[in-house]
Amino acid sequence: MNKVLIIGAGGVGSVVAHKCAMLPEVFGEITLASRTVSKCEAIAASIKERTGREIATFQVDADNSSETAELIRKVGATLLINVALPYQDLTLMDACLEAGIDYLDTANYEPKDVAKFEYSWQWEYQERFEKAGLSALLGSGFDPGVTNVFTAWALKHHFDEIHTLDIIDVNGGDHGHAFATNFNPEINIREVTAECRHWENGEFVETAPMSKHQGFTCPEGVGSYEIYRMYHEELESLTKHIPTIKRAQFWMSFSPNYLKHLEVLQNVGMTRIDEVEYQGQKIIPLQFLKAVLPNPGDLGVTTKGRTCIGNVITGIKDGKEKAIYIYNICDHEKCFEEVGSQAISYTTGVPAMIGAKQMLSGEWKKPGVWNMEQHDPDAFMADLNVHGLPWTCIELTPEQAATFTVA
Ligand code: NDP
């Protein structure tokens, strides 16, 4: 029987735990551990009510690898699903090496004191995982995650060579608050205020945050939105592993209201990640801001509308130019009905469960540290259709694809 240990009881952790519990034949025994055990217990109660299954809960400090390794041995897990924060990636990879189990996460490691997004730290674990005969799967959320698998699947089934990649993440949902972030505010704000980088002719080109934007009309009536070019971590692994890519960009939709609030917060210093002295205590403004913003895990009750995330890909097939768009549309209210969470947590948690399923089935179990596009995409793509994130692939005309050739 497979035993998994999920670390992190936030918005994403809740979805992963619920979705794993719905597949008892794959996830035989589930343990959920986090910093605040009461959050694990609340999730366990919801799972019991929705599925009738019992899951175990524990308190753990994921910054402490030996404490986590001890918990791994205690519960007898063979796979750790890390849905805590990116800061914990390395200590949790260390814990897995110490206890001799496989590892999965949804976001690349970030140091706490500098907003730096790159895989180098985690790729350095390649040899250690390989020698130990253990597998680590990096970035098994939606973006990164499904967007990487979409690209690998497109290369396998639609192209001889991929030349351009535009990943477009639209959240057409409305949570009813003046300002809130859809996932952990600290991580979200660090990401969107960072310098933009996109891939062009063999190198990353840096531009000012949010300086490039354009309109985008989603399919199936999701609506038209302004999308902003920004850096996102899958650009690094995809351009490394698919070297024919000449240009790769990531775009995310933001409402004028979100941008207005973000600008003010930045201007008054509330998004700073260095320490400031306040009444004899050192505080980090962005961490304080997180404490006063709505908890993303609680947004499900009020959020309405749909997300639309997908890839526009161009390239060559049999000597001819070709363009496709692969996307998923996800309804916030339907997610809430199924697992009690909004679609951002859902679209991250479901792929984490599916990635874990591929590892446990042996399909994606290969010693070493891997990004999603390095594995065969077919079984994962089939599972998306079965487990709540159905996708559609349409062919585009050159004119439609050219919308993304803006310099
Ligand atoms: P939340 O902040 O809602 O949840 C994080 C959880 O981790 C909380 O329960 C928190 O505990 C726990 N945690 C934090 N530090 C520790 C620690 N030292 N020891 C134990 N537990 C700890 O975040 P989300 O659920 O929104 O996001 C989870 C992850 O998913 C993040 O890494 C995020 O970047 C990633 N993500 C990935 C996406 C993708 O598509 N790839 C999209 C969205 C998110 P406490 O409750 O005590 O604070």
Instruction: Tell me the CATH number at 217.
Output: 3.30.360.10
Q: Whose CA is nearest to atom 23 of ligand 1?
A: 184
Evaluate if residue 154 carries a pLDDT over 90: yes
- Give a yes or no: residue 251 inside a domain: yes
Q: How far is the CA of 382 from the centre of ligand 1 (A)?
A: 27
Tens-place pLDDT, residues 106-117: 999 998 887 778
Residue nearest to atom 7 of ligand 1 (CA): 84
Give residue 230's pLDDT band: very low, low, confident or very high (50, 70, 90).
very high
Residue holding tokens 């692969």? Answer: 326
Whether 406 shows a pLDDT value over 50: the answer reads no
Cα 272 to ligand 1 centroid, rounded to whole Å: 20
* pLDDT above 60: residue 407: no
pLDDT in tens, 170-225: 999 999 999 999 888 888 898 889 999 999 999 999 999 999 999 999 999 999 99
151 and 89 in a common domain: no
Same domain flag for 322 and 248: yes
* 178 in any annotated domain: yes
Task: Kindly report the backbone phi and psi dihedral angles of residue 379, in degrees, each rounded to the nearest multiple of 5, phi listed first.
Answer: -65, -35
Buried b (16+ CB within 10 A) or exposed e, 105-125: bbbbbbeeeebebebeebbeb
Residue owning the nearest CA to atom 44 of ligand 1 = 183
Residues 36 and 60 sit within 8 Å (Cβ to Cβ): no
Asked whether 142 lines ligand 1 (CB < 6 A), one says yes
pLDDT value, residue 402: 77
**Is 163 found in the same domain as 129?**
no
Quickly state the pLDDT bin for 227 (edges 50, 70, 90).
very high
Share of the chain above pLDDT 70, in %: 99
Question: What CATH number is associated with residue 112?
Answer: 3.40.50.720
Query: Looking at the structure, do residues 103 and 154 belong to the same domain, yes or no?
Result: no
Question: pLDDT at position 405, please?
Answer: 46
Is residue 375, in this structure, part of any structural domain at all? no
pLDDT at 81 over 70: yes
> Is 34 touching ligand 1 by the criterion CB < 6 Å?
yes
Q: Within this chain, do residues 188 and 61 fall inside the same structural domain, yes or no?
A: no
Q: Which of 119, 138, 157 is the last residue of a domain?
A: 138
Co-location of 125 and 244 in the same domain: no
Closest ligand 1 atom to residue 187 Cα is 34
Regarding the beta carbon of 145 and ligand 1, being less than 6 Å apart is answered yes
- List the beta bridge partners of residue 165: 248, 313
Domain count, the chain: 2
Could you tell me if the ipTM is greater than 0.90? yes
Q: What tens digit of pLDDT does each residue of 331-352 get?
A: 999 999 999 999 999 999 999 9
Among 79, 113, 138, the domain-final residue is 138
Note down the domain range covering 256. 146-339+390-404
Q: Please check whether residues 241 and 329 belong to one and the same domain.
A: yes
